[in-house]
Amino acid sequence: MSAPRRRAVLAGAALVVGLVALAVGAAPAGERRAGTVLAVDPQARTLTLDEFGANAERRSLQVQVPREAVVLLSQRNHAGRDAKDSFRDSTIGLSDVRVGDFAVVELTADPGVARLVMITLRRGAGS
């Protein structure tokens, strides 16, 4: 088998393995999920989101937010001159997250555990 053909076969095999891993539901570290906050429990360190999943299917996603996870509020900086300073991120506590906020959650290798929670839109706030 020629080298280009061998590379094409290996690339195809790698693609199939990746698709199978996704189909099984493996969540790669760093996967991001987003939705509207339905519930927040600072004592249990859990966050529940209303998200749109595959095929625009609405579902509830509950994640653990360990103490070492970063929780941020990202706000538009209207005085920003370029992409680098268009937003200001500030650290907040999980107890500062409100029902109705829009959140982006970055997961760890464990799909039920967050390593980052970023509030990108406050409930009732405009863009």
CA distances 29 to 7, 68, 71, 108, 121, Å, are 27, 16, 17, 5, 24
Query: Do residues 53 and 59 make contact, with C-beta atoms less than 8 angstroms apart?
Result: yes
Residue 7: predicted pLDDT: 47
pLDDT digits (tens, 9 = 90+) for 26-71: 445 679 999 999 999 999 999 999 998 777 888 999 999 999 999 9
| 22 and 38, same domain (yes or no) | no
Instruction: Find where tokens 């970023």 sit.
Output: 118
Give a yes or no: residue 111 inside a domain. yes
| 75 and 39, same domain (yes or no) | yes
Which residues share a beta bridge with 35? 103
Cβ-based neighbours of 22, under 8 Å, separated by 6 or more: none
| 70 and 96, same domain (yes or no) | yes
| 4 and 61, same domain (yes or no) | no
Domain region containing 11: 1-28
pLDDT digits (tens, 9 = 90+) for 57-106: 889 999 999 999 999 999 887 777 777 777 889 999 999 999 999 999 99
Report the domain count for the chain: 2
Residue 82: predicted pLDDT: 76
* Selection from 26, 48, 53, 21 nearest residue 117 by Cα: 48
| 18 and 38, same domain (yes or no) | no
Residue 76: predicted pLDDT: 83
Give a yes or no: residue 127 inside a domain. no
